[in-house]
Amino acid sequence: MKQDLPMQNEQCDCRCIHQERVDAAIEHALPQRENEQTATLFKAMGDPNRLRILWALDHGEMCVCDLARFVEVSESAVSHQLRQLRQLQLVSNRRQGSILYYRLNDDHVSSLIHLALEHLRAEKNI
């Protein structure tokens, strides 16, 4: 695991531009649209209630009523969160009679959550 120097100042002690590094960063930069979409995705997953919903759905389908009980907020609030998650293609739904079940849209969503947890848990072991 990489270990940084103790945090002192977050800036260099001198000002020098390493143009080759700047050029490489520019060459590999995300297109603006993808950058904005990725930021929106992380912002959506950054809300504690939406993350709790995604975590619950990582373990199986649930309806709005179940999710509201789990997250301890109103069904209306959960519906609002699910609408946002569905627009970002993080969750999808299916209707069975009068019940609307939600699930993670694909394995990538689960992978993002688990990778974040793996990162956080590894940082604790430094």
The per-residue pLDDT for range 27-66, each reduced to its tens digit, is 999 999 999 999 999 999 999 999 999 999 999 999 999 9
**Topology at the third CATH level for domain 32-124:** Arc Repressor Mutant, subunit A (1.10.10)
Question: Which contacts (CB < 8 Å, 24+ apart) does range 99-106 have?
Answer: 99/63, 100/63, 100/64, 101/61, 101/62, 101/63, 102/57, 102/61, 102/62, 102/63, 102/64, 102/67, 103/57, 103/60, 103/61, 104/54, 104/57, 104/58
In the chain, the percentage of residues whose pLDDT exceeds 90 is: 83
Q: What is the distance between the alpha carbons of residues 67 and 91, in angstroms, rounded to a whole number?
A: 13
